[in-house]
Structure 1
């Protein structure tokens, strides 16, 4: 930083003035001398004076550094601590994931008490930064009065950085009583349908701090996509399209779970579970039908589900499959008819229960009933005539390729119904518990081997059904042979009619042959 020349031996922020000449510049606690001020004829007294002034400058700079507020310090994603934009320290990994080691960046002229004070001030800032950013994790780590089961779960949550798939610790969660769950809930733990997680760890500041610590442990130098992912997280994006050029660990460290081509936030997946749960447990009765409910055993995707995830129909299929749901397709016509039938039946039941039928009494009601009956009888022939006239008209038959294409599209329209697959297994390297590991590359798809396997499956029948199939086939063939062997009685009228028919056919063929021979 360039500054104006002032009194002799004065210090201006980063520039050092000795005998009214600039001798160099500070950057943090490192001094860089100006090359153009070097003089071979510099006396020993001048060098000594310069060193004394430089030591004094370091001491004054250290005092100013220790008096700075926390707002003057920043910690970048590469682990470098900066003071007013200048590097003064570097973080390094230790055995304790949450407590990195500090390396001070300073010249040897910073010695003694001044150096100790600088180190202490840096350590206070680092401690303050991580304890504030990762407060939910530190609170859970230092919680007192936990039982063995709750302490075990708390330890696993801390080691997995705040998120564990529920299936991995299903037995532990099942054995927790309500009191233990209440204790963990007060510490910020949430028991979701898909994950056990600390809600406070899904915010941008904790996610950035966790990512920094993970980079220190894994010596991550390639940070491609890190800025874009955290920018989307800060903007409140509930899901992102997965970029294959980005490190997949960054999505998971930011609180997203990769499902198909999209990465969805953990808490948003739990909101999706809250929409699915009532649809799967719905029973037709007095309670209102929840959105997405079909028959109480399966559900269909609704616009609300797609809206909170920011996904389309194809994305929803991949997301639900990744969460452990399986689908089966039904015709859209049958689907709409079933929904209409359920809606009509529930509406009819409500009307029948809530509104009793009106009872007609008195002479006036009888007169009105007779007149209305006569009006209906008079209007009936006209209606029947119109319907008969319309029925006489032939239905328009679509022709051409456009009509065929339209018909095919209508036939292919289906609706997917979803239900949970209890035998679904989670992928090994797609969860937050594996953040410190590396994802294995997927094996290339062997198309030829797959085709041969499918052809072998088609040609070789399943052994369990082969006996039944052969038995049914033999029954059908025996039945056909018995039908062929049965001949009608020649004295029956059916046999005589068949003989007469055959005789007429032979005579007709004979006449046609005679006519063709005469023509030649």
Structure 2
């Protein structure tokens, strides 16, 4: 069986000696079959047994995509976990969580354990098989997808081990293809799904009161510049509310401190001579501190799907409410009746009429 090799353009090669390092001679190619993961073959060499090639091809797909092969015709698990497994199998191992949310919401502990056992990751944004991120699995999925969609071969794939690539022209790419090979497109980057899941988890783990700050390590995970990181976060639905880079004044110049001078006996100025203890070598450069990155407000609702609690146009255009403001009372057309003021006829008591004043007068008379 090791005598056969499948190239990235779909050509089948055969070697009479498996130990021969040469690729071998072309004996046919794979063609579109009845299902995405079940391609057919077209043998051009009459000396090759078609049955052996089909058996090798099925084994090759199962060995390259082992976690995906385990989900085929899964009968041991019950609904809704089985429905999730079938959909992940048919989509080459990755789907947006929003498309599976009804099934995920109905899962019990037994169903979740069954999915974990089959290495299915229920991410915040995507449901996927992490073991399919290996380069060989990425290349084979690219081949099978383009073959099934009648696209040209070989298919474009990111370099082995790359965590993300820049997408220059988003209008001329197929985002479904990049998602199928494990590199969903967000913003200006196609990101390997495990790194994307790591980024999403970091965002929600570090959020406080619905706000989070981008970190330099996020860009390092994706291998991209900071502006690209911002486009990725905004494509997820998060809104940038403050960027410290905008506060930096552009075009400011630092003044150069004037050199100290002394006045000579002749009245002319002369620069201060350097002392012997002055250093002759430049001091080591100070370590530069990484600048603070932008702050974002989390998207409303879940990490996936449409945002919830959207404002109506009237509410969006209304002025913000002030804290501790009393509700405004509407004025009626009818005049309000004012209550009548009751005037009291009781006169105020004078101080000299009080008993304490009389007692004071008695004390004065007794002294006299």
TM-score range, shorter chain: 0.5 to 0.7
Q: Counterparts of 2:29 and 2:294 in 1: how far apart (Å)?
A: 57
Deviation at 1:143, TM superposition (A): 2.8
CA contact (8 A) 1:204 1:254 kept: no
Q: Name the structure 2 match of 1:207.
A: 138
What TM-score do the two structures reach when normalised by structure 2? 0.63
Q: Name the structure 2 match of 1:94.
A: 33
Deviation at 1:106, TM superposition (A): 2.4
**Does 1:190 find its partner at 2:121?**
yes
Q: Residue 176 of structure 1: which of 107, 110, 116 is its match?
A: 107
Q: Secondary structure at the match of 1:214?
A: helix
Equivalent residue runs for 1:401-480 within 5 Å: 415-422=294-301
CA contact (8 A) 1:94 1:101 kept: yes
Deviation at 1:195, TM superposition (A): 0.6
Write out the 4+ residue segments of structure 1 that deviate beyond 6 Å after TM superposition: 330-334, 462-465
Q: Counterparts of 1:463 and 1:82 in 2: how far apart (Å)?
A: 66
Equivalent residue runs for 1:213-292 within 5 Å: 213-221=144-152, 223=154, 226=155, 229-230=157-158, 232=159, 234=160, 236-244=161-169, 250-280=177-207
Deviation at 1:77, TM superposition (A): 2.2
1:32-84 Cα deviation digits (max 9, x unpaired): xxxxxxxxxxxxxxxxxxxxxxxxxxxxxxxxxxxxx41x3211122221113
Equivalent residue runs for 1:41-120 within 5 Å: 69-70=1-2, 72-84=3-15, 85-107=24-46, 110=47, 118-120=49-51
Structure 1: gaps spanning 5 or more residues: 1-68, 281-294, 335-400, 407-412, 428-456, 466-520
CA RMSD of aligned residues (A): 3.4
Q: Counterparts of 1:238 and 1:275 in 2: how far apart (Å)?
A: 16
Q: Counterparts of 1:298 and 1:463 in 2: how far apart (Å)?
A: 23
1:329-384 Cα deviation digits (max 9, x unpaired): 277899xxxxxxxxxxxxxxxxxxxxxxxxxxxxxxxxxxxxxxxxxxxxxxxxxx
Q: Secondary structure at the match of 1:263?
A: strand
Q: Counterparts of 1:126 and 1:312 in 2: how far apart (Å)?
A: 41
Q: Name the structure 1 match of 2:232.
A: 319
Q: Name the structure 2 match of 1:309.
A: 222
CA gap of 1:423–1:143, structure 2 versus 1, over 3 A, is closer
1:289-324 Cα deviation digits (max 9, x unpaired): xxxxxx443110111222112222211221111122
**Does 1:128 find its partner at 2:59?**
yes
CA gap of 1:332–1:259, structure 2 versus 1, over 3 A, is closer
Q: Counterparts of 1:209 and 1:199 in 2: how far apart (Å)?
A: 15
1:154-212 Cα deviation digits (max 9, x unpaired): 11111111111112222221221122111111111001111111112222222222222
Q: Counterparts of 2:209 and 2:297 in 1: how far apart (Å)?
A: 11
Q: Counterparts of 2:240 and 2:246 in 1: how far apart (Å)?
A: 18
Structure 2: gaps spanning 5 or more residues: 16-23, 256-291, 307-312, 320-368
Q: Counterparts of 1:276 and 1:104 in 2: how far apart (Å)?
A: 51
Q: Counterparts of 1:140 and 1:152 in 2: how far apart (Å)?
A: 10
Taking CA–CA contacts closer than 8 Å with sequence separation of 6 or more, which of the two structures ends up with the larger relative contact order?
2
Q: Name the structure 1 match of 2:71.
A: 140
The more displaced of 308-317 and 179-188 is 308-317
Q: Counterparts of 2:123 and 2:147 in 1: how far apart (Å)?
A: 30
Q: Secondary structure at the match of 2:80?
A: helix
What TM-score do the two structures reach when normalised by structure 1? 0.46
CA contact (8 A) 1:324 1:422 kept: no
Equivalent residue runs for 1:359-378 within 5 Å: none
Q: Residue 166 of structure 1: which of 65, 79, 97 is its match?
A: 97
| Rg comparison, structure with higher value | 1
Q: Counterparts of 2:317 and 2:61 in 1: how far apart (Å)?
A: 63
